[in-house]
Amino acid sequence: MAERIPLSLHVPEPAVRPGGRPDFQYLSIPQAGAVRRPPVDVPAHEIHDLAYSIIRVLNREGEAVGPWDPGLDAEAVKAGLRAMLKTRAFDARMMMAQRQGKTSFYMPSTGEEAVACGFQTALEKGDMNFPTYRQQGLLIAQDWPLVDMMCQVFSNERDRLMGRQLPVLYSAKEAGFFSVSGNLTTQFVQAVGWAMASAISGDTRIAAAWVGEGSTAESDFHAALVFASVYRPPVILNVVNNQWAISAFQGIAGGESATFAARAHGYGIPSLRVDGNDFLAVHAASSWAAERARRNLGATLIEWVTYRAGAHSTSDDPSRYRPKEESDAWPLGDPIERLKNHLIALGAWSEERHTQLRAEIEDEVLAAAREAEGYGTLHDGPKPSSAAMFEGVYKEMPRHLREQRQELGV
């Protein structure tokens, strides 16, 4: 009988842990402009290579290069820069508010602003995002009122969700922003259903599904891809690969063996892998996928390669599982800095104007926070009514809930 070697379990580990030097060698990054731009009606099997590369537009000098350069004018670029700065300032203010005890919880999107803010530019009124908890930029890029978002974070009397939801789990139908759930990936398959409904109804609206790379491991990710593959509905399947799912690096989600964009190959869904810190690449790839959807060509999966620069949430301390310097070493840089440099390269911007814009935005965010706090914070000031707790479970309040409301005496 042949000698057998003892089997051993492979448990992926990140290249470095706290105290080590950041190492991103696992990430192969092509030059900006190097990846081809196929026509939107390309069959999935002809662009398999795109799932293993990274579409990039902005080079080191801040110039827009290559076939994916969307050719945005300076005003559009400034709007993108403004949206990203506002998202970052909003996050900073709300992180501080949590530290000050004004709310129980917050989740920043620091470093990922280009993905949400850039993506929103490809959507039209009536389209529907099915976001996770880290796409606040989708709202901010549309100039959705910051006060409204803050009131939700503070669970105060102006909170449109009546204090029922954890902070950051917004809902804004008017802004095409589906109610965020705490249960990961459930919305990914719902987006496919929404898009199927649009197709069944002969509508022209499209849907966008969102998931982080960690949550692609959920069964709903697979279900969404199967249904998107079968019925070819108008949906964009976004995977935000920020390298980290709380403390677990992307290898634990299966990222060591293949890219997340490559998942789509097995389902016959065209997929792109894109520099998520390159606003112009985000805009270009989103527009490509949106056009495919609007032309009834079906779903597209996009893996956005980015880095979660902040903590997972206010309840998390990343220094316990990754080097502190890692976010500074991230090879795709900072999305805001890169777009700022592009505007400067265009001759339409300067450090002075940038500093001025940041100050304006910080004032705007501070004013919004003061207004929102005036309507109450979690532990201070007016709150949603206790009676509202019993409403909206069903369209009409059934007998047993009326009795329970009376039992509470409200």
Partner 1 sequence: MPRRTMVEAIRDALDVMMARDPRVVVFGEDVGYFGGVFRCTEGLQRKYGASRCFDAPISETGIIGVAVGMGAYGLRPVAEIQFADYMYPGYDQIVSEAARLRYRSAGEFTAPMVVRMPCGGGIFGGQTHSQSPEALFTHVAGLKTVIPSNPYDAKGLLIAAIEDDDPVIFLEPKRVYNGPFNGHHDQPIVPWARHPLGETPDGHYAIPLGQAAVRREGAAVTVLAYGTMVHVAEAAAEETGVDAEIIDLRSLVPLDVETIVRSVMKTGRCVILHEATRTSGFGAELSAQVQERCFHHLEAPILRVTGWDTPYPHAQEWDYFPGPDRVGRALRAVLEE
- Residue ranges that bind partner 1, judged by CB under 8 A: 128, 130, 160-162, 164-165, 169, 171-173, 178-179, 181-183, 186, 189-201, 207, 219-220, 222-224, 226-227, 230, 392-395, 398-400
**CA Rg value for the chain:** 22
119-133: buried (b, 16+ CB within 10 Å) or exposed (e) per residue? Answer: bbbbbeeebbbbbbb
Q: Which is nearer to partner 1, 190 or 286 (CB)?
A: 190
State which residue, 194 or 349, has the beta carbon closest to partner 1. Answer: 194
Q: Closer to partner 1 at the Cβ: 160 or 295?
A: 160
Hey, what amino acid is at 35?
V
Q: What are phi and psi of 244, to 5 degrees?
A: -135, 135
Please provide the distance, in angstroms rounded to a whole number, between the alpha carbons at the two ends of the chain: 78
Query: CB-wise, 342 or 383, nearer to partner 1?
Result: 383
Q: Is residue 278 within 8 Å of 351, Cβ to Cβ?
A: no
Q: Say whether 153 sits in a helix, a strand or coil.
A: helix
* Rounded least distance, CB 172 to partner 1, Å: 8
Contact 91, 66 (CB under 8 A): no
Q: Is 320 or 395 the residue whose CB approaches partner 1 more closely?
A: 395
Q: How far is the CB of 150 from partner 1 (least distance, A)?
A: 16
DSSP-assigned letter for residue 177: B
Residue placing its CB nearer to partner 1 in the complex, 190 or 242? 190
Q: How far is the CB of 270 from partner 1 (least distance, A)?
A: 20
Q: Which amino acid is at 150?
A: M
8 Å CB contact between 261 and 273:
yes
Which residues are paired to 302 by β-bridges?
A: 238, 272
Query: Residue 396 CB, nearest distance to partner 1 (Å)?
Result: 9
Shortest CB 267 distance to partner 1, Å: 11
Q: Which one, 45 or 395, has the nearer CB to partner 1?
A: 395
CB of 251 to partner 1, least distance (A): 25
Please report how close the Cβ of residue 399 comes to partner 1 at its closest, in angstroms: 6
Lay out the sheet containing 235-241: strands in order across.
Answer: 128-130, 207-212, 235-241, 300-305, 271-275
